[in-house]
Structure 1
Amino acid sequence: MNKPLSHDECNCFALRQAARFVTQIYERHLSQVGLTAAQYTIMAKLSRKPQLTMVDLAESMVMERTTLVRALKPLQRDGLIVSEASEHDGRTYLFSLSDAGRHLFEQAAAAWREAQDEFEAKFGKARAKSLRSELFSITA
């Protein structure tokens, strides 16, 4: 019988712990503009590529649709993200930033930059770039 791994040998535990630590940095900065890190990443995705379907948005973010819906609802309620029916299929909705969403996203981008700078100051710019590359390669 194999001996169970200790927590310091578990890749999942290490990644989740690191993710919580990094998320706390970004959440602290983004809270100044009233966004969570998850909401910011959704808005960032839609700022680069508007009119995404729920399926495309969820797949591009590697998120379950139910998790994405929970994050989208407050953004829609607050008028930051709008949806419109697709021309090809009235049951499919396309999501984009509203004018208010684009304005808030610009403000949030400054808070995000502060978080990015804080993390890179603690971790090192080159190491952060290398880490991002490795992490993105997992989901590529």
Structure 2
Amino acid sequence: MHMTGVNEVCYMTRLELSPEAQEALAGGCYCLAARRLARRITRLYDEKLVGCDLTISQFGQLLLIAENPEITVQDLADAFDLNQSALSRGLQPMQTKGWISSRSHSVDKRKRILSLTTDGLAQVNKASALWKEAQEEMESQNSDQNLVGLAREMTELKFR
């Protein structure tokens, strides 16, 4: 029975893809390639940091808080290109563990100031050795690549 106006599913037939779709399928999509690579790299670093009960994202956030002891939640969110709500959800476990503290800004009470605690600093220093292991594994698995140059070039990509 054939019903008009209903999408049909094609089984066992090769669909005719547009040239643009074929280009994306062949690996020509910068975004899909970057997302795939980011997931692989993130997995490597997260696996190394599991012994510290941290993800690579949390490690980076702790580093930035350590470097900027009076950073606001909004400034940290901006640095990681996240919205404040998403970042706050990610910060909560680290606050619960006592690695970071949060207080109101002295002038603008709507702003929250983040600081690294003594336990947080110890966690960063402990995790740094595991981060270095991940870094060295990336380098050894990709010794034929200029990873430092690649990282620098990625930061120089232009966006709106």
Give the TM-score normalised by the residue count of structure 1: 0.92
Letter in 1 for 2:20: K
Q: Who is 1:16 aligned against? A: 35
Q: 1:38 aligns with which of 43, 48, 57?
A: 57
- Secondary structure at 2:47's aligned position in 1? helix
Query: Alpha carbon RMSD of aligned pairs, Å?
Result: 1.8
Residue by residue over 1:20-66, the C-alpha shift from the partner in whole angstroms, topping out at 9 and shown as x without a partner, is: 11011100110011101111110011111111111111111112222
Q: Unmatched 5+ residue regions in structure 2? A: 1-17
Find out whether 1:3 has 2:20 as its counterpart.
yes
Residue 94 of structure 1 pairs with residue 92 of structure 2: no
Post-superposition shift, 1:138?
A: 2.4
Residue in structure 1 matching 2:99, options 80, 88, 93: 80
SS of alignment partner, residue 89 of structure 1:
coil
Shift of 1:117: 0.7
Displaced runs of 4 or more, over 6 A = none
The match for 2:156 is 137
Letter in 1 for 2:24: S
The structure carrying a bigger helix percent of its residues is: 1
Indicate the structure whose relative CO is greater, using CA pairs within 8 Å and at least 6 residues apart.
Answer: 1
Question: 1:78 & 1:30 partners in 2: Cα distance?
Answer: 16
DSSP-derived class of the 1:91 partner: coil
- Residues 139, 113 of structure 1: alpha-carbon distance in 2 compared, 3 angstrom cutoff: farther
Identify which of 73, 77, 91 aligns with 1:58.
Answer: 77
Percent of paired sites with the same residue: 29
For normalisation by structure 2, the TM-score amounts to 0.81
- How many residue pairs get aligned? The number is 140
